[in-house]
Amino acid sequence: MSKLLIVESPSKAKTLKKYLGNDFEVLASYGHVRDLIPKNGAVDPNDNFAMKYGIIERNSKHVDAIAKAVKNADSIYLATDPDREGEAISWHIAEILKSKNLLKNKVMKRVVFHEITKSAVEHAIAEPRDISMDMVNAQQARRALDYLVGFNLSPLLWKKIRRGLSAGRVQSPALRLIVERELEIEAFNSQEYWSVHLDALKHSHGFTAKLIQLNNQKVEQFTVINHDQQADIVGKLLLASAGKTTVSRVEKKQRSRSPAAPFTTSTLQQEAVRKLGFTTSRAMRIAQQLYEGVDVGSGASGTNTVGLITYMRTDSFSIATEAVMQIRDYVKKNFDADYLPKSPIMYKTKSKSAQEAHEAIRPTDISRTPTKVRQYLTDEQFKLYEMIWKRALACQMSPAKFDAVSVDLSVGSDANLFRATGQTLVFPGFIAVYMEGRDDVKEGDDEEDESKLPQLETGEVLTVEKIYGEQHFTEPPPRYGEASLVKILEEYGIGRPSTYASIISTLQDREYVVLDKKRFTPTDVGRVVNKFLTEHFTQYVDYDFTANLENALDSVADGDREWIPLMDEFWQGFNRQLLSKADVDRPGNELIDEACPKCGMPLQKQLSRFGTFIGCTGYNNVPKCDYKRSINGTANTAAEPTLIGTDLESGKEILLMNGPYGPYLQLGLPIEGEKKKPKRVSVPKEISLATLDLEVANMLLSLPRDLGLHPVSNKKIVANIGRFGPYVNHDSKFKSIPKSESVFDINLDGAVALLAQANTGPAPIASLGPHPTEDGQIEIYAGRYGPYVQHGKIRATLPKSVEPEALTVDEALELITAKAAKEVPAKKTAAKKSATKAETVKKTPAKKVPAKRTAAKIIAAKKSMSKKVATKKAAVKKTST
């Protein structure tokens, strides 16, 4: 009896084949096999939201391979990922096979496992089930909602703002979060305040206390607001102290801190950003590699490929009982008895939905320590696995214990009090293994900072070393980083674990936000799009509305709600809003009393990324009119130059301008009669025009930077920015500066190291691990014309829509396979042409011409030409006469 198991990933297929042996054929679908056709009408609201699906072209050959294998199989097991997306892929595969009439007299079942281990897979196959239509319908509803929003709202943005823009059901509220935070920062007014401190001394042990009570009044943040006020207070306190202070209260207590829960998708992404410096998409890609299987050395039957972690898309904190007992057993054997709690620690899931999987992210075997598997992992895989392993181990360990002390010191009388706090770690507990990271920690905020106070008793008199004030200014709220954005998205209920990374990458791909110094800043286009959506589609970028819609989709997945009435309820309101906004003017646009000189249509003031310009209202006509001019009347310019400031050295104005390759800075205007052009420098994409100030402009105009002489060639090395980004140049050799370095900070040693790489070939910017079916690694490189993926000698350029950090193994294999398929026919054609040409030459030998005859013909031809020339000259002479 032949059996067929279908999974999503070829890496997973390779691992499972080793577990299941020859009884099973294991094939991969390479992700989604069907999607809505990319045309209007793919979802029909007038026909119960009927959906028109088409097979995804790049995966059609994999569908054909599955269909061929099904013909020879008696039992088919659908083993796609254990979430809604995986359930929907299984359903789509089943629907395709039904449409081909391939399931007659065959058994088809769905199998689910949350870790790729031999026991988990065998258990899943032993207990198959049917496809869950509730989960499928929830995913269909989500896809239909995204389609209806995207296909109806994006064209409206094209019409009202600019072509190529898009709006999404989940990305738009995320953009609103970033824009609103930026507006908060811009509107923020910093306020001055002062804190007053006392340095006390007992014997040789000094410590600091902070003023908490003055003249029997509690000291608040803005009690002391300027220098004169603090000077007056400090002076009076110094006089009252007479160099002494009295201990008026001593409070001692023990406090503890419990370990953090095991990782969910959200917390894994946050910690990977904070601790490892990964992006969210890179963290998910590496986690997928660990889940799908890594060869950890030879086993009894040859290679030993095993999934190292459980499924990485989850919002559940729970851990299987067997895994908890295994972790506790490891703690018992490797730590003192105090480190093991009396009973297992159970974690309650905060998220109401918690539908993505049944377990938190944990190692499949806690005894497989990071040290044991280090040699089999890439650096990135090791770092992430080590973090997951430590977090899972720590979650079943005893709390850390601290001895905390709080002391009040009186000055002059009990009306004036200073307070000092200190603590000592007396038992590390889980901290011996793992400590959770935090965002935006300010100095003095960390509760685990260890500080010791001397042994003090009430009534004790201490020496005052000094009393002084410290100036502070209130700070605006910080911009979101990737970790804090994921955290706030989860808190608001916007999106789900599997969508956080794609939300962030979409906002960057659309150039709505830029990631500058690991913080998100909205671009001008992002601001305009957000303004339009919040003003005219308020409900659909509302945080509560988006979260409630996600909860409604969860109810569909749980079988508590029907999906078609949910869709209808959404569409009725959304469609009314669309119709009512069809005639809304573009934000910032204003018609002027003038006709276009090219087509006669009215002209209007239009808003662009670079400012305001005059443009034709016939831009959206067919054929379109692209007439535009600056406000001062110069045609075919995108915008007026923007004055950034004045260069201190030359006294010339620094202007922001727009050219065919994007924005650039120019130092002064051209001087009439002078051939020398003003100095210009491109503005890199990483720098938001909204944040481009005089300081940044001066840094850019300081380029190129002379870094010094090369130690070997003794020739100059220069750092600069070109059309393809920042680079170093030495002796006409160029090397791109990686994103981790700055063109403004790179020094001579760093440049020499980069140039050395140029001589030895480029280093990969990321590794996707070994090829699942062939020898060699799959690696991503930064090429001159963009990033590319390479396996062996095959190189495939990444599409512009794909970020190198977000590239999955499956996508890389698709690109490499497609490239290889193109190269083979090309080589065959070239070889065939070469062979045909050689054969033709061989079959048609050249005619042998006697040497004398050939020479005679050449001489005769020369004489004939001479006669013709002489005749023409005579004719010309006669005519002129």
Active site residues: 311
**CA distance linking residue 432 with residue 339, whole number of Å:** 9
Beta bridge partners of 785: none
* 313's tokens: 């898309």
DSSP state of 367: T
> Treating both helix axes as pointing N-terminal to C-terminal, what angle do 118-126 and 10-20 enclose, rounded to 10 degrees?
80
By C-alpha distance, which of 149, 119, 134 is closest to 43? Answer: 149
Contact 483, 439 (CB under 8 A): yes
> Treating both helix axes as pointing N-terminal to C-terminal, what angle do 280-292 and 265-276 enclose, rounded to 10 degrees?
110
Residue type, 573: G
Residue type, 346: M
DSSP state of 541: G
Q: Helices (H) and strands (E) in the chain — how many of each?
A: 21, 35
**CA distance linking residue 601 with residue 598, whole number of Å:** 8
Contact 586, 528 (CB under 8 A): no
Contact 394, 259 (CB under 8 A): yes
C-alpha dist (Å) from residue 459 to 211, 421, 590: 18, 17, 76
DSSP H stretches of helix in 435-562: 482-492, 500-509, 524-536, 543-557
* 9's tokens: 């990933």
Q: Strand ranges (DSSP E) for 668-724?
A: 680-682, 705-709, 716-722
Q: Strand ranges (DSSP E) for 315-398?
A: none
* 211's tokens: 């003023």
Question: Three-class SS of residue 729?
Answer: strand
- Length, in residues, of the chain: 881
What is the DSSP code string of 736-783? Answer: EPPTTS-TTT--HHHHHHHHHHHHH-PPPSEEEEE-SSSSSEEEEEEE
* 829's tokens: 């054609």
Rg (CA), the chain: 35
Question: Three-class SS of residue 712?
Answer: coil
**CA distance linking residue 316 with residue 262, whole number of Å:** 9
Cα-Cα-Cα-Cα dihedral sign, residues 700, 703, 708, 712:
positive
703 φ, ψ to 5°?
Answer: -75, 150
C-alpha dist (Å) from residue 281 to 287, 483, 499: 10, 12, 10
Query: What is the helix (H) or strand (E) element at residue 697, kind and residue range?
Result: helix 694-701
Q: Strand ranges (DSSP E) for 166-311?
A: 192-202, 205-214, 217-218, 244-257, 294-299, 302-306
Question: Three-class SS of residue 14?
Answer: helix
245 φ, ψ to 5°?
Answer: -140, 150
**CA distance linking residue 295 with residue 290, whole number of Å:** 10
Buried (b) or exposed (e) across 357-395, using 16+ Cβ within 10 A? bbbbbbbbbbeebbeebeeebbebbbbbbbbbbbbbbbb
**CA distance linking residue 779 with residue 767, whole number of Å:** 4
* 67's tokens: 């269909």
Question: Three-class SS of residue 413?
Answer: strand
C-alpha dist (Å) from residue 188 to 105, 352, 520, 749: 70, 35, 18, 41
